[in-house]
A and B are shown apart, each in its own frame.
Chain A
Amino acid sequence: MKQEFIITVYSENHIGLLTRTTIVFTRRKVNIESLTVSESAIPGIYKFTIVVKATREQTIKIVGQIEKQIDVLKAFYHTNEEMIYQEIALYKVPTKALYESDTVEKIVRKAGARILEITREYVVIEKTGHKYETQELFEELNQFKVMQFIRSGRVALTRDPIERLSEFLKERDAFLDALD
């Protein structure tokens, strides 16, 4: 059965690694729902957060193939329930919608969203949350004709109390030294 999985990849910051990673999905004809890449807490090490809809078996194999890439330090997969995650969405609505009634204000308050910028023509609203929440806000705001809308890829943390990466790196170093 297909479901959403969050794949987390820790890698060196090498040119071409993004292609090497995404091509693993392409080859198996698995579509990437979202992809976020940024530097981790450790300088020089990058973290990919990839959301896919796939079966568990497919996901395990994909993670195995990603981890096999030379420049990848470690790859994991989790279900949504196993992680804390957020996405961010930006909405641009016409400014006149804001002063013609208090509906926009109420919607924004209820959604826990905030206003980033107000100009003569438009207002930019920001909302973080899960996809269904940012989507719900879109539906509500769209009665005023949303001029532009964008949603980010996902960022996600495990429920572990600490980031295990630095420990992992120490262990890896010791392990590789022991190999020769």
Chain B
Amino acid sequence: MTTQKVTGSKALILSLLEEGVDTIFGYPGGAIMPIYDALYDFDKKVKHILTRHEQGAVHAAEGYARVSGKAGVCFATSGPGATNLMTGIADAMIDSTPLVCITGQVASPLLGTDAFQESDVVGMSIPVTKWNYQVTNAEEIPEAIAQAFYISQSGRPGPVLIDITKDAQFGELDFKYEKCKKIRSYVPETPVDPFKIKEAAEIIDAAKRPLVLFGHGVIIGNAENEFKAFIEKTGIPAAWTLLGLSALPSDHILNVGMLGMHGNYGPNLLTNEADVVIAVGMRFDDRVTGKVSEYASKAKIIHLEIDPAEIDKIIKADVAVLGNSKKSLKMLTDNVNKNSHNDWVARFRDCDYTENEKIIQNELFPEKPGLTMGEVIRITGDKTNHEAILVSDVGQHQMVASRYFKFRKSKSNVTSGGLGTMGFGLPASVGAQFGALDRTVVAVIGDGGFQMTIQELGTIAQNKLPIKIIILNNNFLGMVRQWQQMFFDKRYSFTELQNPDFITIAKGFGVTGHKVEVREDLENGIQKMIDHNGPYLLEVVIEKEDNVFPMVPTGASVSEIVLEH
């Protein structure tokens, strides 16, 4: 292998190119300037997207990773640059999103001296990274980067942070690159145990009322086809977690909807009727389970999972099948009998009927004058042929968007699930667009969350990204307000907002916009947004005190799901 003498900074860029990186999201500063200087020579080979805040860079990297399946890459400087990444890194950690975050650091002789813009980035990112490492010597760079990509993208993916001191960026090395193939202390995935598969298959074959719960693991494992084959062969109804959304087409006959606090009536209620629950690549989050002691109380649990630490963490598995979902689902499908559960599936459809009568009709086709979030989502989904990427922020609009947008393609739903990071949506949509340049990206965001990362309108305008931004504006921090109404005696403590004129702000950034206040203008407004060639902001004024239903109240069992307040 030939080597060339290069600086640490150039070695970093060359290493990223070796890993196939085409887009970097970042923000320069003192301690990362040598890297930015090296990057300047590579503008033909790799795009760098200057966000308006480091939090924007890391959420953009997440959005990129979620739609492309490749690690998102972001750059930030030391000190405040790095601390501003932390929210996004924590978000990526809990949502198993592969990231490689590169932070500049003060020169190694200054470490621990409280130098300008020095902070203990490795120390503070330990709890929120899958792995992190500080490079203090240029020669370590290629190997550190190779390991970073291997670790972040293999097994259960997650964020990795590499902190590079300024002297290591300036230092020289003989560059050669080898991709990392294994690390002896790290087992990315366990081979699927055929005995466990047999055991699981027997239980599934004997089940009368089986229910499949699928999560992000199906998407991360690229196991959508294997998953579909499994449920179609067994005829088992399948319900999704927030991050499992889009792994199975919304109109699939066995797709019975969303699990959890604001999920659908059927899958919540009937979880406690199921005699077998097959959980695929999901981790029984408390928003899914409700009261754990009364969860799936009649069911044997089969858990297909890549991360051994997830087994028995919340819900004890009767059979745990460790390994990659693509492999385990294939093996399971080969081992189960062809079956159907029509009567059982019909019970979900009965629940759908009830939910439709009590909630969905009023949400999607309201007769009251005020606009609902649901009708905006319904029309937007229809007009994008259900093929767009939906990026949502956090709150009421997120639940409504997830419930009603409807998907045909996988990797189409980008949202902050585990961490519930307000401000995620707008920057994540930037990354999603770069991760899928040929697809329509619709960002649905509340008026609260939008103002947390509003400055990324600048990034969108500068890069002429044709993102369709919808603000569902109810002038409230709506989800908190809903809880205050339901559980805190309507004491609306600090949840009402005085909002700016969003359209004028967008205009200031160079983004065209339009505000919809009445139903007559809605469909046309959405059509104009979609037809617009370039970024567009559509603000829709929503009925102020609408609530999201159904709801499993906190601490209640999933079968205590309520349809109205």
Contact = CB atoms under 8 A, between A and B. Distances in A.
Interface of A: 11-12, 15-16, 19-20, 23, 27, 60-61, 64-65, 67-68, 70-73, 169, 172-173, 175-180
Nearest to B182: A176
Contact of B185 (A72, A178, A180): A72
B122 A176 contact: no
20 contacts: A12-B185, A15-B134, A16-B126, A19-B126, A23-B126, A64-B309, A67-B308, A67-B309, A68-B308, A70-B186, A71-B186, A73-B184, A73-B185, A169-B184, A172-B187, A175-B187, A177-B182, A179-B182, A179-B189, A179-B191
A176 B188 CA distance: 9
A83 to B, nearest CB: 23
B292 to A, nearest CB: 13
Given A64-B308, A65-B309, A70 B181 contact: no
Contacts of B131: 70-71
Contacts of B307: 68
A170 to B, nearest CB: 11
A68 B309 contact: yes
B315 to A, nearest CB: 13
B123 interface: yes
Contact of B188 (A72, A177, A179): A179
Nearest to A15: B134
B309 A176 contact: no
A180 B182 contact: yes
A177 B183 CA distance: 10
Contacts, number: 55
Nearest to B123: A19
Contacts of A73: 184-185
Contacts of A67: 308-309
Contact of B126 (A20, A65, A175): A20
Nearest to A57: B312
Nearest to B132: A16
A61 B134 CA distance: 28
Interface string B437-463: 000000000000000000000000000
Which 8 A-B residue pairs are closest in the complex by CB-CB distance? A64-B309, A176-B182, A70-B131, A73-B185, A68-B309, A70-B186, A71-B185, A12-B185
B130 interface: yes
Contacts of B309: 61, 64-65, 67-68
B181 A180 contact: yes
B194 interface: no
Contacts of B277: none
A77 to B, nearest CB: 14
Contacts of A61: 309, 313
B181 A16 contact: no
B164 interface: no
Contacts of B134: 15-16
Interface in B114-154: 122-123, 126-127, 130-132, 134, 151
A178 B191 CA distance: 10
Contact of B127 (A15, A23, A60, A169): A23
Contacts of A180: 181-182
A38 B443 CA distance: 52
A172 B183 CA distance: 10
Contacts of A64: 308-309, 311, 313
Given A15-B134, A16-B123, A68-B307, A176 B184 contact: yes
Contacts of A23: 126-127
Contacts of B127: 23, 27
A11 B123 contact: no
